[in-house]
Amino acid sequence: MKNGITYDLRQEYLDIGFGEEDTVEFDRIDTVEAIESTLRELGHQTDRIGNVRRLVERLSRGHRWDLVFNIAEGLYGFGREAQVPAVLDAYAIPYTFSDPMVCAIALHKATCNRLVRDLGIPTAEFAVVSRIEDADGVDLPFPLFAKPVAEGTSKGVTGVSKIRTRDDLRETCRQLLEKFNQPVLVETFLSGREFTVGVVGTGDEAVAIGAMEVLLNNKAEQEVYSYHNKAHYEDLVEYRLGDPADPAVARTLDLALDAWKGLGCRDAGRVDVRADGDGNPRFLEVNPLAGLNPDISDLPILAKLSGVSYRDLIERIMASATRRIPARPALLPAGLATTRAAVPKVPKPPRVPASRTAPRVVMLHEKIDSGAPADLSDLATEMDFLTGILTRLGYDVMPLAMTLDMRSVAHALRRLRPAVVFNLAETVDRQGRLAHLAPSLLDRLGVPYTGSGPEAMLQTSSKVMAKRALAAAGVPTPAWVTLDEVSAGEIHFDPPYIVKSVWEEASIGLDEDSVVPDRGRLLHEMELRLPLLGGSAFAEQFVEGREFNVGVLGGPGGPEVLPVAEMTFDYPEGKLRVLGYRAKWDENSYEYSHTVRSYDLRPDDAPLLERLRAVAIRCWHLFGCSGYARVDFRVANDGTPYVLEVNANPCLSAHAGFMASAGRAGMTPEQVVQRILADARRPHRSGELFLSGGKGAKGARAAGGNGKGTKTNAASSGNGDAQRNGRGGARGPVPP
């Protein structure tokens, strides 16, 4: 059975500027991985979909699944947890957990309390404060308890949530109304024991598998299971499985199961219960989309304490959900009823219709095969993200693989006739040295495209060529030496050295072992690492110091430098600070989890930041970049910023540094993409080859060019100087 997985990944939202508390309900990547690996162990195929917007995009492209494992919480509105179930219902695709009605009711605590009360299930007395004036009309005995009406994970619950006076009630309600922009639920304070009850199953088959008691220690905020206590549960909270023989626990289990069945919840979840001062259990809330991290989420922990393994929990959830899969597919209106078979990631370009209303964007990219490495798999994520943005901006998006069969690519482009090509082809046939082929072909065809032209792509793709241009222009870059020079014994700077690929991006082949502390071992290490480095290698002086990424975005007023990000290394003493492949791509590695992008720089960094910005702009003009680029720096301990490389086609994924920096500048992803499209390179002439289908060499020459007219490329001139002056690496770094 083919299972899609829908989720909101917390890191993606953090990377685009959302705060810690804004994203606390969203999932970590290891939660998604745990669910996916367990489903595969159970014999299911899996397909990561992501959030509701990506689900809509995938559905619009014809993708279907036998069942969707849904843990998406949603971002906006009282119905946010109902969005994915509602969309799946519209397409008659079965899914795990509760339906849209239950998800919406459960999130809105006041509505849920009313229904539970009508079912005859005891809950605390409550009132709803929608305006600050409503607080004066609350007619409940003190002490009271206040919280946002539609938040989870104890958001908005603090030590002042327990209220003892009318003035405190008004002030707490005012703060919550202003912060969360939603009504406040005010309840009679329950002073007894608190439990969370795990429930598995649907309807009459549902069972309460255990009640876990929440016990606060002396260091915790007392009497309140607050956001702070939850966030620091390891130090402040003890969880203890209740004994079903305990009458209070037995009543709690019965109440939770009655609420679960009465509300119509499905498959698995949690019900929170707290007793009043006399020990009588009262319903607090139900969580129909309970967290499923095997190590830190309440439901898996509770299940394990009750003798139910994580695998068994997922298997029981799937068994409950698959009972809802109909024997025959539902009849759908035309346009919705498409096959459930998987649609290829990069479909063959269809015949262009006679007319269309939306301008077409062709997304040109490296071919993505099954089993692709992490860096190439991330390209698929980037494409999905950009496709969603472009679709929302009103474009018809068509992916097209850039291959060495350039005649076929050219034929497809002529047939598709795009208004613009969004060029993501950072490699061709997995070779960084061929990155210039895509813009070269587009220039020849006379097709407008995003990003830099072939000259900039060629020069920046070769790190050695780029360093020669930087050195010739007087831009500081670490000393370097080629493999041929090392073989000839021409090394004119001291260790340590770091061995890198000349052509490959994404830190391929780069790790701690790339650093060579001894001159005598350098040649051996370079030759040994050649297969990891795509067959090319050079050695650079390893600069111990701080590392920075500087994004530059084109625009009508010229290039704009985005907020500068520092890559911080939370490494133990003695571990080399190398931003290698594991740190960038292996989410299970120590390096990945301990390398953090930070914008919280010190006030005394202001002169350094100004210098980084100035050098980044200089690099932009030196190489003739267009659209967007990123410049990576190492700042030595003496304060000198050295350019490591210039990336003329950096990643634009939601979680990548470029979009994160743009978000810090107050720009949405849509605004970034609009700027890039507006700065797209236009053919010098009207594109005779593209329009005519390529008749004659004369048309080919006329349609060529780099979109900049006859203006001399400063980078080409600088590089020529570097070549005439001999081997730049032997001279060492150029002083600032």
State the Cα–Cα distance between residues 439 and 447, nearest whole angstrom. 9
Domain spans in the chain, listed from the N-terminal domain onward: 2-105, 108-306, 360-451
Q: Is the pLDDT of residue 577 over 90?
A: no
Res 670: pLDDT:
94
pLDDT over 90 at 570, yes or no: no
Asked whether this chain's domains 108-306 and 360-451 adopt the same fold, the reply is no
Angle between helices 437-445 and 454-461 in degrees, nearest 10: 170
Q: Residue 445's CB: how many other CB atoms inside 10 A? A: 23
Which positions ≥6 away from 336 have C-beta within 8 Å? Answer: 90, 91, 92
195-199, 263-267, 500-504: which has the minimum mean pLDDT? 500-504
- Across 609-637, average pLDDT: 94
Mean pLDDT value of segment 168-180: 94
- List the one residue out of 543, 544, 545, 541 whose CA is nearest residue 519: 541
Is the pLDDT confidence value at 328 over 80? no
The yes-or-no verdict on residue 712 having pLDDT over 50 is: no
Please tell me the predicted confidence (pLDDT) of residue 705.
34
Task: Give me the pLDDT at residue 585, please.
Answer: 63
CA distances from 80 to 100, 287, 518 (A): 9, 14, 58
Instruction: Name the fold adopted by 360-451.
Output: Rossmann fold (3.40.50)
What pLDDT score does 357 carry? 57
pTM for the full predicted model = 0.50
Range 108-306 classified under CATH 3.30.300.30 = no
Considering the segment(s) 2-105 as one domain, its CATH architecture is 3-Layer(aba) Sandwich (3.40)
| Token duo for residue 69 | 């494992």
| pLDDT score for 152 | 85
Residues 457 and 647: their CA atoms lie apart, in Å, by: 8
Interval 102-151: pLDDT, tens: 999 999 999 999 999 999 999 999 999 999 999 999 999 999 999 999 99
